[in-house]
Structure 1
């Protein structure tokens, strides 16, 4: 919205105000503004949000001793810490996006809509947990139906409702195409209707992966920051015709505003982390984790860097993969691969302190984000 002020530049003549208004044309400036806005809003309202959540008695339910004795021993003291703090992430992210982006860009609304729709599901799930005073919440079947309904809708619009882009040699690339990295000559597969299935599985899978990662103070928040920063870079490069041509990646002009959206997400996560780092004063709950898990893959689809998400979001992939391996191994062989899944609990039970697990996973996430960006030159 705020970029519209740049249209008044000519009416104020050659003045300092004119120069300032001219800055609003630049996506990098607005991306920084979006990040800072979301962060400062979080600092401004964070204490009030915590007090409100405490007054509403929306404390985080912890699994009982009967359910998981070791987990209760590790985290039982956290019982009662306000949850549903993801509402602050959603609020600051939404306000920042609305303030700094071009409302005429449809992908902005795609990312924002996905984030809010899955955040609403998470809010319902958190409310059920708090109301019932247990850790069960909404049934898994209901959650999956909701997630797939959102994911299929978004994926269909991407595949059939948006204009595509071009490669450096002017080969047309639609959003139904799958861009395969690491090849000098553009390797692009037209998935047709299967693009809807592929994108839907991405969104649902990553949403649940972030949800599984959100088990330690600041873990999912910190990893979302590094992932969001990487995709802010991808979106900026994919929307700049010169950089896209130099790096041999598809050029998508609609991805320009996604740089701002990604940085708004980063700012919202930084602001939340201020209150979520150990010892956490509030948890994001499913309200935040499901929403973040929906925003990130939608950004990846928007800049046509879907496969790189396996690298950049490697910590989330690792967390979800550990759960799948654990379940499969126990069902097939009656043997557990890990002490406990998701894998962050495996390291906790192995003797790592919670802060050690979190910081080391942050480091791994940052390294993977840098590796993901470095792959742009692997051709």
Structure 2
């Protein structure tokens, strides 16, 4: 929005051209989302407390979590407000990369909101029925995947980039829709599973979003894309604004979500942020890189799959509790230790993922 105003004012004073620079808008977008979240956070937390929208804790969970009952949840609204406000101010709203990402954030946020609403307002411990949640996620993801496939204008938009191999970028054809679908839905649910400790999910999300900001910038620059042997995607640089907005809003939320948390993001936050990371990976053609950089999310998801599969097939559990962060809690690790160590692992994986851009 402010981009258009700056373009108009540049007719009268050339200094306004500075707001057309992507790097400046990215910084301003991050700061806007951060300050907006810090300003809105106390007001939203107070409102949630007045409405008695508190966290529901399962009786079969770790005993240390029982004290978390009643902590305000649905704080993901704070993140979404920050991202949308910042992107609307500093992003190019004619850019389809931006619009697609905002659609995914909004649609998956709505699914998460409905799930949280049923849990904390209607007092239904199961929330939205799993079947319907998956159907809604599938519809949104397939709409996006189909739109991107049928509106692709360059070959690079449907290629698969394989880390470490600069000459292996196969055309996916219609399989692009399948890959995009599973990336978006899978990433959404993976972040949702990870969101079980104070600050555990939001910091890896911030790290991965920050890395994707760099990748989007490189993909949208023909010189850098050619040098790094990644697809050149005209216009994808605008995703930098969305990514830095996620970083800013995420850090603002972490201010209130750090241990001991004053608010939880709820499904409205985890489902939407996970889906956003998934669709950004699809847009910049780095689905495999998302698996590497989001390794903490993958680890959490695999722990649940292995736990359920082992119990059904053999009647035995592999972990004391899944997702795996609960396993370490039950082993006696204090919650902050689990959180920070998972953050360190996430930072290492993000750095490894970025290194693959050059090690090809």
Name the TM-score class by shorter chain: over 0.9
1:82 aligns with 2:72: yes
C-alpha root-mean-square deviation of aligned residues, in Å?
Answer: 1.2
Q: How does 1:300-315 map to 2 (within 5 A)?
A: 300-315=281-296
1:11 aligns with 2:6: no
1:25 aligns with 2:20: yes
SS of aligned partner of 1:377: coil
Cα distance in 1 for partners of 2:354, 2:110 equals: 32
Cα distance in 1 for partners of 2:350, 2:259 equals: 23
Deviations 1:331-377 (A, max 9, x none): 11112111110010011111111001111111111111111000111
Deviation at 1:72, TM superposition (A): 4.4
Cα distance in 2 for partners of 1:149, 1:9 equals: 42
- Matched with 1:271 is 252
- Matched with 1:179 is 161
Deviation at 1:163, TM superposition (A): 2.0
Gaps of 5+ in 1: 165-171
Deviations 1:101-152 (A, max 9, x none): 1111011110000011000010010011113435311111000000000000
Which residue among 44, 49, 54 is the counterpart of 2:44?
49
SS of aligned partner of 1:190: coil
SS of aligned partner of 1:268: helix
SS of aligned partner of 2:20: coil
SS of aligned partner of 1:324: helix
Q: How does 1:89-108 map to 2 (within 5 A)?
A: 89-108=79-98
Q: Classify 1:224/1:10 alpha carbon distance in 2 versus 1 (closer, same or farther; 3 Å).
A: closer
Q: How does 1:141-180 map to 2 (within 5 A)?
A: 141-164=131-154, 172-173=155-156, 175-180=157-162
- For the 8 Å contact 2:83–2:246, the answer to whether it is kept is yes
Which residue among 317, 340, 361 is the counterpart of 2:298?
317
Q: How does 1:63-78 map to 2 (within 5 A)?
A: 63-64=58-59, 68=60, 71-78=61-68
SS of aligned partner of 2:169: strand
Cα distance in 2 for partners of 1:135, 1:278 equals: 24
> What is the TM-score with the length of structure 2 in the denominator?
0.97
Q: Which runs of 4+ in 1 moved over 4 A?
A: none
Cα distance in 2 for partners of 1:247, 1:191 equals: 21
Cα distance in 2 for partners of 1:75, 1:347 equals: 14
- For the 8 Å contact 2:188–2:274, the answer to whether it is kept is yes
- Matched with 2:319 is 338
Cα distance in 2 for partners of 1:125, 1:251 equals: 39
- For the 8 Å contact 1:59–1:130, the answer to whether it is kept is yes
> What is the TM-score with the length of structure 1 in the denominator?
0.92
Cα distance in 1 for partners of 2:170, 2:272 equals: 29
- For the 8 Å contact 2:215–2:284, the answer to whether it is kept is yes
